[in-house]
Structure 1
Amino acid sequence: MDNISYRTIWISDLHLGSTQCQADVLLDFLKHNDSEKLYLVGDIIDFWALSKKMYWPRDHNTVIQKVLRKARHGTQIIYVPGNHDDNVRDYNNYVFGDIVVKNMDVHTTSQGKQFLVVHGDEYDTIAQYHQWIAKLGSAGYDFLLWTNRILRVIRRWLGIQSHFSLAAFVKFKVKNIVQFISEYESSIVSTLRDKGLDGVICGHIHHAEIKQLEGFLYVNTGDFVESCTAIVEHFNGELELVHWLKQEESVLIAQKPLETNVHD
């Protein structure tokens, strides 16, 4: 498969340093997709997980090397830290190995649309004011992902290829979690009215989506622990949500591009 080129790529919630990171799929994505600009939208390195157990396999190191190689070869890389790597926020506007750290950024598409790029935990009241609850929820989520990993091995052994996620299934069966996601999305969008922006591109809740909300475009990158998704900008300014499967196992599954004409 030839490499696919985009104007911009956004990925988030890689959780390197965690056993939940699907580094093999992530490496495959980085191998087959190039861009002029690459946003790392938070929770890239999971310092919460590393503080409990040192886990850093070779393929996690290879991910870092691959990203640094892209930067050396001319890709503009912007690292927007999240809550699991919030210590990186102390280095706002610093440059490390050709990678720029920005706590938030405004991206302008080729259509002239402006998007706030932020991890998103800033708009999550639990993450901001009740961190112990957030860490408890993170532990429960990790257990679901661990269970899902076992199910994924069984599905592969049976020759079943699917995007079924136990964590996602539970998320959308529990009413309070569905309400939390809705409130999170609304909280972010409500801040945009004062900024004169066309939309927001964020991560944090591991739920990839492109949709209109109250006249703005809400875009969530998803993650590489569960759904293995990214947001890409084509050279004509269209945004697309991409679900990635390793190329030797299956074919790329992508959602139809969505125009970013928000409120012309």
Structure 2
Amino acid sequence: MKSGNGYVRHLRSLFLSDIHLGTRGCQAELLLDFLNHHDAQRIYLVGDIIDGWRLRKKRFWPASHQEVMNQILERGRRGVELTYIPGNHDEFLRKHTRTRFGCIRFADSIEHLTAEGRRYLVIHGDQFDVVMQNAKWLAFLGDRFYAIALALNTWLNIIRHRLGLNYWSLGSFAKQHVKQFVNFIGQFEDTIFAEIDKRELDGIICGHIHHAADREVNGIHYLNTGDWVESCTAIGENLDGSLEVIRWQGAEQIFARTAKDTETNVAA
């Protein structure tokens, strides 16, 4: 199947989180490009899709943000299973949990069974965030600082672009090199591993910390969807049941994948 100017990749399931529609940092255009080149039998919206925190302060809803919602809802009307698992930024939707609104099912969390028969908890992840659970005011403050960092990052990359340099993420650098961020992510993941082990599941698919991941520890498979503010990542379940992080920088990726698959088939 083709879509506009390229092939569409067919997935069994697609997991998206931390899109933050309603903020200037949202990479809506790149997400639309991603959606145009990916199809799935079911889509999980794993929280912070709409940023209610920011929208309460200032109305910002450009056409590209509405188009993201339109595309997702259109897929639901065509028969794609849509499940919305609200996060902390769209917690106003949590009152709709365990109900259905049109073509969307709402839930606090859900168990996903892969084509391989492995069981995964799908949840936003703020439930495992010590700061969110014990000092919500500090989380709001952190969100404000994050917005400022994104604004600085935008201007920094305008300068880098004029100098002929590639995009560089201040947020991603901090998460990899600043001790406080590294410790926070480690604590978040340790809490998750303990919870999944207790529930006797094979793994978890979550978001919240804007840090995509795919790793296995002591038989527990941990996947984090990342975000559509800086990293532009999602989790895809292939038709054979395997799961992977998809990092999206543009349609050229799918062309490269198609070419690689063609070369493999020819070699075989």
TM-score, length-scaled by structure 1: 0.91
SS of the aligned residue for 2:133 comes to helix
Choose which of 244, 247, 260 in structure 2 pairs with 1:243.
247
- Structure 1: stretches of 5+ with no match in the other structure: 255-264
Choose which of 64, 81, 84 in structure 2 pairs with 1:79.
84
Q: Which residue of 2 aligns with 1:260?
A: none
Whether 1:194 aligns to 2:167 is: no
Where in structure 2 are the equivalents of 1:109-128 lying within 5 Å? 109-128=114-133
Where in structure 2 are the equivalents of 1:20-169 lying within 5 Å? 20-162=25-167, 164-169=168-173
How far does the alpha carbon of each residue in 1:105-129 deviate from its partner, in whole angstroms, 9 at most, with x for none?
0000000000000000001010112
Q: Distance in 1 between matches of 2:111 and 2:9?
A: 24
Report the structure, 1 or 2, having the larger helix content.
Answer: 2
Q: Which residue of 2 aligns with 1:229?
A: 233
Whether 1:7 aligns to 2:9 is: no
| Conservation of the 8 A alpha-carbon contact between 1:68 and 1:97 | no
SS of the aligned residue for 1:193 comes to helix
Q: Which residue of 2 aligns with 1:213?
A: 217
Task: Report the AA paired with residue 147 of structure 1.
Answer: L
Q: Which residue of 1 aligns with 2:263?
A: none
- Structure 2: stretches of 5+ with no match in the other structure: 1-5, 258-268
TM-score, length-scaled by structure 2: 0.90
Q: Which residue of 2 aligns with 1:258?
A: none
SS of the aligned residue for 2:198 comes to coil
| Conservation of the 8 A alpha-carbon contact between 1:211 and 1:217 | yes
How far the C-alpha of 1:172 sits from its partner, in A, is 2.1
Identity of aligned pairs, percent? 43
Gap change, CA 1:159 and 1:251, over 3 Å in 2: farther
SS of the aligned residue for 1:211 comes to strand
Task: Report the AA paired with residue 216 of structure 1.
Answer: I
- Structure exhibiting the larger radius of gyration computed from Cα positions: 2
| Conservation of the 8 A alpha-carbon contact between 1:46 and 1:84 | yes
Gap change, CA 1:31 and 1:155, over 3 Å in 2: farther
Q: Distance in 1 between matches of 2:16 and 2:159?
A: 28
Task: Report the AA paired with residue 138 of structure 1.
Answer: D
Q: Distance in 2 between matches of 1:246 and 1:167?
A: 21
Q: Distance in 2 between matches of 1:26 and 1:123?
A: 27
